[in-house]
Amino acid sequence: MNELELTGRARTHVVELSQPNCVVHYEVAASFLSMRDAAAYDGIDLVARSSFRDFNSQMAIWNRKWAGEKPLYDRNSQPLERAKLGDYEAVDAILYWSAIPGGSRHHWGSDIDLIDAAAVPAGYAVQLIPEEYAPNGIFARLSQWLDANMQRYGFFRPYRTNRGGVSPEPWHLSYAAVSLPALESLSLSMLRQVIDASSIAGKPQVLARLPEIYTRFMLAIDGPQ
């Protein structure tokens, strides 16, 4: 991937699928669809809640959270009040659950947030919170199925455990053959340039902490097992 693709400012590396509706890296599509077929055989309707996301969409999420227009959560998914947080704490609270624009794995098209559409009770709004994927949650079966099968299709969970950065996200799968080289190619200086040229809210606070953000929230992931 080139610099524009790595940082979510191009769509030249992704394709749009209609069944299920999602946008993924062209090298991911076949494996994802095979995994979806296998899941369907076991009664699971594997659907992408979120797939490719570009820089501007990620920045819109960031800016709304920074402004307190979109809820912030602590590590235990408990809501936080933006007005009570200093800027330093706000950066942390956003990054526990949302990536820095330019540094989101969703820019690559290799990473997908998955749900089992067949397991969603009528009238229930999916939240993508760890409780839904826990042993008593609505996606417990999906989670177990992914544990047992995702590796065969080339996927892994980069946010499986808490490594001090991004909170565990059992719904977030990554296609190793695309995402491992992508992470190696995306340098700190590349990220700095993109952030510097953007209209991200809290830019001075972000730039001042960028090496830490890069190490803690982008590099510190769980690799394929």
Residues that bind Zn ion (CB under 5 A): 113, 172
Nearest to Zn ion of 54, 113 (CB atom): 113
Looking at beta carbons, which residue is closest to Zn ion? 172
Across the strands, what pairs with 25?
A: 14
Which residues 6+ apart lie within 8 Å of 55 measured at CB?
7, 8, 9, 101, 102, 107, 194, 198
End-to-end CA distance of the chain: 24
Q: How far apart are CA 44 and CA 32, in angstroms?
A: 14
Nearest to Zn ion of 5, 113 (CB atom): 113
Q: How far apart are CA 134 and CA 142, in angstroms?
A: 10
Nearest to Zn ion of 108, 145 (CB atom): 108
Identify the three-state secondary structure at position 174.
Answer: strand
Question: In angstroms, what is the minimal distance from the CB of 70 to Zn ion?
Answer: 16
Nearest to Zn ion of 92, 113 (CB atom): 113
